[in-house]
Amino acid sequence: MEDVFLPIMICGMLFIGLPWIGLHYISQWRRARGLSMEDENLLDGLHDLARRLDERLATIERIVAADDPNWRPSVPDRSERTPRGMGRDADDWQGRA
């Protein structure tokens, strides 16, 4: 009985179990491939918040520079900066001009 039962279990695992597990994880990967609408909305909100904070910091730096002529910001003028790893055209995220 054991001589028949073990090969049947091994064949069942090979031809049913492994494809089942593989197809399960492939379908999970396809379903979670992109961002959900909730994630996109959160990302948009964070981008808007970062832009507003950058504008506020630039305003504070201008006010302090107007009050104290000897004060210098620790970074160059914000209009001259580009995101790290980008060229002159910061809007082109793939690095093409």
**In the structure, what pLDDT confidence band is assigned to residue 75 with cuts at 50, 70 and 90?**
low
| Residue scoring higher pLDDT (83 or 7) | 7
Question: What does the pLDDT average to over 63-90?
Answer: 65
- Asked whether residue 2 carries a pLDDT value surpassing 70, the answer given is yes
- Asked whether residue 96 carries a pLDDT value surpassing 90, the answer given is no
Same domain, 29 and 49: no
- Distance CA(67)–CA(64), nearest Å, equals 5
Same domain, 64 and 50: yes
- Distance CA(83)–CA(91), nearest Å, equals 9
Tell me the pLDDT tens digit for each residue of 38-69. 989 999 999 999 999 999 999 998 999 889 88
Tell me, what's the pLDDT at 69? 80
Domains: count for the chain: 2
- Distance CA(36)–CA(81), nearest Å, equals 32
Domain that holds residue 60: 37-73
Check if the beta carbon of residue 87 is closer than 8 Å to that of residue 95.
yes
Residue 96: inside a domain: no
